[in-house]
Structure 1
Amino acid sequence: MKKFVRTRGSRPQSPLSPPPLPLTPVPPLVAPAKTNGHANGVGARRGDQHSTLSRYWSGSEECGGGALWEDAEFPPARALGEQRRSVQWLRPHELCANPTFFGESLAGGEEEGGGEGSGDDAAALAGQYLDDVGADRWVVDAEGAGPLSCGALWRACAALRGTPRLLARVAAPHSFRRGYCGRFRFRFWVWGEWRAVAVDDRLPARGGRLLGSRPRAARDFTLPLLEKAYAKLHGSYSSARRAELATCLRDVTGGVVQSLMLRPRAAAAAAAAAAASALIAAAPRSTLLVATAATAAPRQGLAQQSGLIGGHPYCVCGLARVRAAEEAAGEAGEEAGMLLRLRAAAGGAWSGAWSAHSAERAALSAADRAQLVTDHDEFWMSFGDFCSWFSQLELVHVGPDDWLREPALRDRRPWRAVLARRRWRRGYNAGGPPSAPTAHTNPQFHVQVEGARACHVVVAVTQQYAPARARRLLAVGVAVYELPGRRPLAVTHHCRARERPRSRAQVATFFTLPAGRYAVVPHTQRAHAEAGFLLRVLTDEHAHVWELNRDNALLQDPWRALSPDLRRLADDMRAILKCDQMEPLDAVSLRTALRRVWRSVLPSRPSLELSRALVALRDARLSGLVAARELPALCALLASWTRALHSAGARAGAGCRAPRLDAYRLRELLAAAGVSASNKVVECLVLRFARGCSAGAGGWLPADAALVALARLHLAHERYRSLYTKMKSNPLSLEEMILMTIYS
Structure 2
Amino acid sequence: MQHGANVVGSRSCPVRFLGQDYDKLHQDFVRHRARFLDSSFPPEQSSIGPGILSAREAASVVWIRPTKMINNPQLVIGGESRFDYTQGELGNCWFLAAIGAITFQKDIMDQVVPAGQTFTKDYAGIFHFRFWRFGKWVDVVIDDKLPTINGRLIFVHCKTLNEFWPALLEKAYAKLCGSYADMSGGYVSEALTDFTGGVHMTLRLAEGHPELWNLMYSAARYKSVMGCGTPPGTTPANTELSNGIVEGHAYTVTGVTKVMSHSESVKLVRVLNPWGHTEWNGNWSDGSPLWNTVSEENRTRWFHSKEDGEFWMSMEDFCGSFATLDICCFSAAFLDGSSPGTWTSAQYEDCWDTNTSGGSMGHMESFWRNPQYRVKIPALSPDSQETQGWNLLVSLMQKPVGKHRDLQPRLHIGLGVFPVPPGMKDQKGFPASFFASNAPVREAEACINTREVMESFRLSPGAYLIVPYTRNPNETSSFILTVHSKSKYDH
Q: Using structure 2 for the length normalisation, give the TM-score.
A: 0.74
Higher strand share: 2
SS state at 2:183 partner: helix
Give the distance between the partners of 2:73 and 2:397, measured in 1 at CA. Answer: 38
Query: What residue ranges of structure 1 are gaps of 5+ in the alignment?
Result: 1-58, 107-128, 263-270, 327-336, 404-408, 544-744
1:392 aligns with one of 300, 324, 332: 324
Could you say what secondary structure the match of 1:513 adopts? Answer: coil
1:89 alignment partner, SS class: strand
Deviation of 1:64 after TM superposition, in Å, equals: 4.0
In the alignment, does 2:11 pair up with 1:68?
Answer: no
2:169 counterpart of 1:223? no
- Deviation at residue 204 of structure 1 after TM alignment: 0.9
Instruction: Please list the CA deviations of residues 68-119 of structure 1 after superposition, one character each: whole Å capped at 9, or x if unmatched.
Output: 11111112232132254232111001111111113xx34xxxxxxxxxxxxx
- 1: CA distance, partners of 2:194 / 2:70: 29
Distance in 1, Cα, partners of 2:287 & 2:150: 44
Q: CA RMSD in A?
A: 3.8
**In structure 2, C-alpha distance between the alignment counterparts of 1:521 and 1:325, rounded to whole Å:** 51
SS in 2 for 1:66: coil
2:269, 2:318 within 8 Å by CA — same for their partners in 1? no
The equivalent position to 1:352 in structure 2, one of 277, 282, 296, is 282
Alpha-carbon distance in structure 1 between the residues aligned to 2:61 and 2:292 = 55
Say if 2:116 is the partner of 1:166.
no
Distance 1:432 1:323, change over 3 A: farther
Alpha-carbon contact 1:278-1:510 (below 8 Å) kept = no
Q: CA deviation at 1:164?
A: 2.7
Please state how far the C-alpha of 1:153 moved relative to its aligned partner.
2.2
- Write the mapping of 1:290-305 to structure 2, written as runs, cut at 5 A: 290-293=227-230
Equivalent residue letter for 2:267: L
User: Which residue, 249, 253, 258 being the options, matches 1:315?
Assistant: 253
Which residue of the other structure, out of 510, 522, 530, is the alignment partner of 2:476? 530
Deviation at 1:397, TM superposition (A): 4.2
Distance 1:94 1:519 in 2: 59
Aligned equivalent of 1:430, options 338, 353, 357: 357
1:89 corresponds to which of 57, 63, 69: 63
Instruction: Using the TM superposition, give the Cα deviation of residue 309 of structure 1 relative to its aligned residue in structure 2, in angstroms.
Output: 5.9
Instruction: Tell me the amino acid that sits aligned with residue 475 of structure 1.
Output: H
> 1:324 offset after TM fit, Å?
10
Q: Distance in 2 between matches of 1:217 and 1:251?
A: 26
Query: Deviation string for 1:353-390 (max 9, x for gaps)?
Result: 355885666667x69x9699637687653333112222
Match of 1:197 in 2: 140
C-alpha distance in 2 between matches for 1:423 and 1:294: 33
The equivalences for 1:665-684 within 5 A come to none
Per-residue CA shift, 1:138-182, capped at 9, x if unaligned?
x21xxx513x57433222211221123212212223111122110
Cα separation, 1, equivalents of 2:373 and 2:316: 38
In structure 2, the CA distance between the partners of 1:304 and 1:446, relative to structure 1 (3 Å rule), is closer
Structure 2 distance, partners of 1:515, 1:101, is: 51
When the two structures are superposed, what TM-score results if normalisation uses the length of structure 1? 0.50
Is 1:152 the equivalent of 2:121? Answer: no
1:234-313 equivalent positions in 2, closer than 5 A: 234-262=177-205, 271-274=206-209, 276-277=210-211, 280-281=214-215, 283-285=217-219, 286=222, 287-293=224-230, 306=243, 311=249, 313=251
Match 2:124 to one of 181, 186, 191: 181
Match in the other structure for 2:83? 136
2:374 counterpart of 1:451: no
Residue type of the partner of 2:65?
R
Q: Which runs of 5+ in 2 are unaligned?
A: 1-25, 381-385
Letter aligned with residue 542 of structure 1: K
Matches within 5 A, 1:488-527: 488=427, 490-491=434-435, 492-497=437-442, 498-527=444-473
Q: Tell me, what secondary structure is at the counterpart of 1:495?
A: coil
Q: CA shift at 1:209, angstroms? A: 0.8
Q: What's the offset of the Cα at 1:219?
A: 1.3
Asked if the contact 1:455/1:540 (under 8 Å) is kept, the reply is no
8 A Cα contact 1:63 1:69, kept in partner: no
Instruction: Name the CA shift for 1:61/1:197 in 2 (closer, same or farther; >3 Å).
Output: closer
Tell which structure's C-alpha radius of gyration is larger.
1
Greater relative CO, 1 or 2 (CA 8 Å, sep 6+): 2
Query: Residues 418-470 of structure 1: CA distance to partner in whole angstroms, max 9, x if unpaired?
Result: 1111122222x222212321222322222212132425221100112146243
Question: Using a 3 Å threshold, how does the CA distance of structure 1 residues 160 and 447 change in structure 2: closer, same or farther?
Answer: same
Shift of 1:515: 2.2
SS at 1:218 equivalent? coil
**Contact 1:296-1:303 within 8 A present in 2 as well:** no
Residues 343, 387 of structure 1: alpha-carbon distance in 2 compared, 3 angstrom cutoff: closer
Q: Which residue of 1 aligns with 2:4?
A: none
> Once the 2 structures are TM-superposed, how far is the Cα of residue 244 of structure 1 from its aligned partner?
3.6
| 2:488 counterpart of 1:542 | yes
Contact 2:156 2:167 in 1 (8 A): yes
